[in-house]
Chains A and B, each alone.
Chain A
Amino acid sequence: MRLAALVLMVSLAAPFTAAAQAAPAPAPASVPAPVPAPVEEPYPQFGVQLAVGAPDGAVLSFVYSPWYWLLLDAGFAYTLAPGFVLGVEFRPIDFFVSPIIRGEYGYYFTGNTATQIKKWVGLPEASWPLIGDASYNWFSGLVGIALGSRRGFTATLEGGIGYLSLNVKGGSATNGNATITTEPYKVTAFMPVARISFLYFF
């Protein structure tokens, strides 16, 4: 009878003993709680850029960057006439100094371009009517360096090559004993290009 009572007591106590053994030991009060891994702040995606260059002139652009290494920009430009410039830019390294590869397209509407051409080429004033309104566009490829933070302000210096096409309307002028009439014509140039820009991401 005493043995039966002992067996009953052991069997009743067993689950509690197992549970007590399975429970984790409480952490010592001296070990600090684990710190969550720092969450990296995303790169800003929008910025504004001011650039000056040739043949760009002065350009104020809005910049969108879907990834830190890719920048797309579209801007209002002015040289001899108002226009616009579109650009795509690669910045493969996120560092204070970063190389740049850039492609650009620009278009300028008619403005004072024709007037300046007449002066630059030294055309006799009597023949000025032969040069009508002129607009131009170009493609360019540039490489350069950027200095600054991809998360804030950067300054860039770029150079490269471009292909410019100047489209001039014709005109008519009297010269001596002849009336000269010109059809629309085109001036193209394969030329060096350069630009300096300042970009701020917000």
Chain B
Amino acid sequence: MKRHLLLATAPLAFALQGCGTFYAEAEQPRVCLAMLPQTFTIPGGGAVAPPGGFTGTYSGTIDVSLSDAIPDFLLTGQSKDRILHFLSFDASVSGPPGANLDFVSSLEVTAEGAPGSTPVVLGRYARGSQSGVITSISVQPEAQNSNLSGFVASGGITLGMSGGVSVAAGQPVPSTLTTAVTTCLSAKVHKTLQEIINGT
């Protein structure tokens, strides 16, 4: 009979002390954000490229207000228990028919959180030797193991886009770069029962 009592009380004892053992875990393998078309100014653009060609730069930022779409309790707790990884970044042409991204020679995408935080380079693109119309640019992902959740928890992620343009001599140099941006991330959150009860 003692053995039966032990059998019956063991789970109860386990449950009482096990609020840290019990957990809930959510995993989103892929969430994609398609941003409205973004326009970046190209200093020196808006004219015909001089003999020898035109090289210039562009840069800008995109605010990704993910925190509005994520319940608050998922952004609390220890950062090791909430993971946000970068998967991909694509910039596609946005503009009238015939618009082209062939003048974009390079692109670097960074992520940063609150002002003063250290940016993380998410990926880079360098135009190869391909010719013809380029309607979409995909960066080569880097730092895929970097945890970006801290940026979201501290107010949101700001994506930084910067790079270079080059136009052959005699060709028109656009004054702006307008592109539709899609970036994809994966997310995982782990919460113990104790944290769920405490709302932390």
Contact = CB atoms under 8 A, between A and B. Distances in A.
A17 interface: no
A122 B32 contact: no
Contacts of A183: 28-31
Contacts of A186: 26-27
A124 B34 CA distance: 19
Contact of A185 (B4, B29, B64): B29
Interface string A136-172: 0000001111000000000000011100000000000
Interface residues of B, number: 37
Contacts of B27: 185-188
Contact of A99 (B4, B29, B74): B4
Contacts of A124: 68-69
Contact of A178 (B8, B28, B64): B64
Given A122-B72, A189-B24, A161 B11 contact: yes
A73 B32 CA distance: 44
Nearest to B12: A159
Contacts of B26: 185-188
Given A159-B15, A187-B24, A192-B22, A178 B35 contact: yes
Nearest to B187: A185
Contacts of B10: 143
Given A177-B35, A177-B63, A191-B22, A122 B73 contact: yes
Given A188-B24, A192-B18, A180 B29 contact: no
Nearest to A185: B28
B71 A159 contact: no
A11 interface: no
A190 B23 contact: yes
A29 B99 CA distance: 122
Nearest to B37: A177
B126 to A, nearest CB: 26
A182 interface: yes
Given A127-B68, A182-B28, A192-B193, 5 more contacts: A121-B73, A176-B65, A178-B35, A181-B33, A187-B24
Interface of B: 4, 7-8, 10-12, 14-15, 18, 21-36, 62-66, 68-69, 71-74, 193
Interface of A: 93, 99, 101, 121-124, 126-127, 130, 142-145, 159-161, 173, 175-183, 185-192
